[in-house]
Structures are given as structure tokens and as C-alpha cells.
Amino acid sequence: MRRSTLARLAVAACSLSLLTAFAPAAGADDSADRTAERATASSHARHAYKRVGYFTQWGVYGRDFQVQDLDTSGTAAKLTHVNYAFGNIGSDGRCVMGNIPGEADAWADYQRPLDAANSVDGVADTWDQPLAGNFNQLRELKAKHPGLKVLLSLGGWSWSTHFSDAALTPASRKALVSSCLDLYIKGNLPQDGTRGGAGAAAGVFDGIDLDWEWPGSAGDTDTKYRPEDKRNFTALVREFRTQLDAYGRTVKRKYELSAFVPTAPAKIDAGFEVRKIMRDLDFVTLQGYDFHVSGEPVTAQQSALHARDDFSVDGTVRAWLQRGAPARKLVVGMPFYGQGWTGVTGGGDGMGQPATGPAPATWAPGYEDYKALKKLAASGTYELYRDRRGGHAWLFDGTTLWTYDDPQVLRRKSAYVRAHGLGGAMFWSLDADTPDGELITAVDRGLTR
């Protein structure tokens, strides 16, 4: 997961570090998936699949993607969870909230007033209400969709900086978890004029999603990591579970706890005691994308379902199953964006060829929303290619290549989730879908067939 699209592309080191170990090879094709699906369909007929979508805090600015858009697009009705990205940990090892450039954005979170036209309930915010911004809109969205849960996602690529320090000792873990529950679960926001105050955001969040990238191995350039992160992550998960359950008993409700976890076996083994953490986590969302990124010198798939001697969704699932994760707790990550290269030479379909750098794009080089790639596909200047054995797609115009998931790819991945009795699907990120929710609809139909 990433704090921003710029952060995705600033560090090709993320992908290069993945290349230290490949996921288990798999060469299954469509027919094998269909056979497995038929064999297991009856036993999974009543399986309740999770549909987890990330809503980005910063998307309300340039992209003008508001919480209301989740409702008007029909997306909210197809989701079980919205993960709000992201909360941050300060240098003091506690959850931080405020207007701190590059570190926190209280204006977007709970201070920014919305007018009636952009509000979920059609009522304009007033100057004196304690809660406004995204948090208030999420509260209104939940009122309209009572089954929907909202989790606060903590960390992300850019904001995992202080996780290792905060998880280092029993005292630091207890302080971190207590501060996060105070802000997000109890809703005790910093007072700023009429906004915030004790309990201002109570009831908005239904749990915590841990996005530490990565315990025990390298992440962003300023993110500290140490060998003891592995056992400390287990202890941190236990502390979150303990405090969430204890507070839940006082208010007579259950709070959920999830985590975003990596593809590479080397990263799994460096940072995760799989059997132990899965006892305390309600589910994990698997990295199902960024297998290769546009900062690399050669074009490659970023989200293949199957691949030989390379990362893949199937390889990721198998790696977690082999280490003791229950299938029902594995939620497969699916990208709503593409990775792109330009200056591609070598001819053919462009895949596996040298490139000069990331492709020009709307928000950041080498990263483009699906809704924009759909227009490229319809423009007549790009050819659409599919690897039917691998289960991925890409666009190529002779010079520029974009690898991405379209509805056909996502339907096949949804069938894979059903066939293998997995927990569901996760999407990064909801603002990249079309205004009518084309991608979420494809997954929803794929999971409910």
C-alpha cells in the first residue's frame, strides 16, 4: 500500500527488494481454474466474501473523489469494508493527528466543511459541528449502508517510518495502541476551534488495519527496520487485539483487526510469524500488485494471477497457506490502476522489453488510474494484449506499455477466490475506478455467481 502515487514511483527499490525471492511457480490456466471452481463451488456456496476498498485521504483534492462518490457510483452497496488511508505514527511512537505537512491532514480528516451537493446525506455542514470532513461523510455513509464497516488503515508505504520503534517494547506497544484507540475508536480528536473534541468521531471506525511496510525488511527510504520486528509485530498485533477487545466489552461491540501483508516469501519470513498473528487478525489483505513497477528497466507484469519463476497472486496465496494462514482469512489485493513504461524497444507485444523510464501519466509518471487506461484502450492507438495462462493484460502502442487489470481479469481473479475458498477481494484504490464503478461491479458479480 502507498501513502500517495508519488510514493509508489519514487522507490523502485520496493520492487527490487521483492526480487530477492520468487513466489512459488504456478502454470495453471483458465481450464484448471474452472475445474477447481466447479469442484469446490458447493462447499463454498454460503461463503461470505469480503470486499475491502481503500479510500485515500488525499483523493478529495486533485482527483476530487469524495466519500459521496462511493454512494452515487453504487460502490458502497458492493463493499463490506472501507479502509481509510492513512493514519500516521509520530516520532514519539503514538498515533498523530493534526495539520502537519507531509505527516497528517486533519483538514481532510475532520475539519473541512462540505456543502450539500457533495455530502452523502445532502445536507451542508455547519460551522459549529464537531465533526466534518471525511470522517463525518464516512459516518453518513455508514448510516445509509448499515452493514458497511470502516477501518482506519495505519501506516502505508510513506508512513511506516516509526513502526519499528513504536513496536519495540511492551511499554511502547501499549502506548501506541492506546493512542490509536483514543483517536480513532473512541473518537477523541484534537480540539481546533469548533471541530474535534472528546468523542467527536466516536462510531466512525469499526477497527484498525495495520499497514506496516515492512517489519524485518526494507521499505521506504526513511523506514527503520530491525530483525526483532518479526516477534514485535506479533506482539503488536496481540496488543491491538487485547485493547480492542477490552474496549469492545465496555461498549458491547466487536472491533475488527486486519493487516496488509507482502508477496515475497523473503519478506514474509523476515517479518511475520504467520500462525501466531492469524490467531489475532480477523483477516489479512494480500499484496496482489506492484510485482513489478515502472521504475524497473524492463517491462513486466504487475499483477498476474499465475506466473512461472516470478511473483503472482497464486504464488502469494500459496506462500501464506504453506506458512499456516487459514484460506478464509486471506483477502486478495486487486489493483484499480496500472504500471507503465515508455521508450520501449524490441518490438513484439512490448512485454519483457527494455524501456527508458516510467510512462507519462495524469498524477505521477508510471502510475495511471483504470478510468484513464480504459480511455486509452478505446482510443485506437493502443493494442490490448492478454496472457491467458498468466491471467493479466496490458496495452502497447509500440512505444508505451501499461500493465493493468480490466473487468475480464478481475472476473477471473474473483473466480479464483471462490474456487480456493479465500476470504474475498481488496482494492487499491477506489478513486481509480470509473464513475459508475465498473471494476467493483465486475468483482462483485464474480464473487456472487
Give residue-wise pLDDT tens across range 211-240: 999 999 999 999 999 999 999 999 999 999
HSE, side-chain direction, 13 A CA sphere, residue 408: 13
Domains of the chain in sequence order:
5-337+406-448 (3.20.20.80)
pLDDT of 14: 41
On whether the CB atoms of residues 243 and 181 are closer than 8 A, the answer is yes
Amino acid in position 163 = F
Residue 403 cell numbers, joined: 500493465
Give the C-alpha separation, 356 to 358, whole Å: 7
Phi/psi of residue 151, nearest 5 degrees: -110, 145
Give the C-alpha separation, 261 to 238, whole Å: 16
On whether the CB atoms of residues 391 and 409 are closer than 8 A, the answer is yes
Give the C-alpha separation, 159 to 212, whole Å: 8
pLDDT of 36: 47
Give the C-alpha separation, 331 to 317, whole Å: 9
pLDDT of 11: 39
On whether the CB atoms of residues 366 and 379 are closer than 8 A, the answer is no
Amino acid in position 55 = F
Q: Which position has the grid cell 481473479?
A: 413
Residue 342 cell numbers, joined: 515508455
Beta strand ranges found along 321-440 (DSSP E): 330-335, 337-342, 357-358, 367-369, 383-387, 392-396, 401-404, 424-428
The DSSP call for residue 209 is E
Q: What's the length of the chain?
A: 449
Cβ partners under 8 Å of residue 317, min gap 6: 286, 330, 332, 420, 422
Cβ partners under 8 Å of residue 119, min gap 6: 68, 125, 137, 140
Spans in the chain with pLDDT lower than 70? 1-47
pLDDT of 449: 79
Residue in 33, 73, 26, 29 with CA at minimum distance from that of residue 53: 73
Q: Rounded to 10 degrees, what is the CA torsion of 350, 63, 142, 106? A: 120
Question: Catalytic positions, please?
Answer: 213
pLDDT of 2: 53
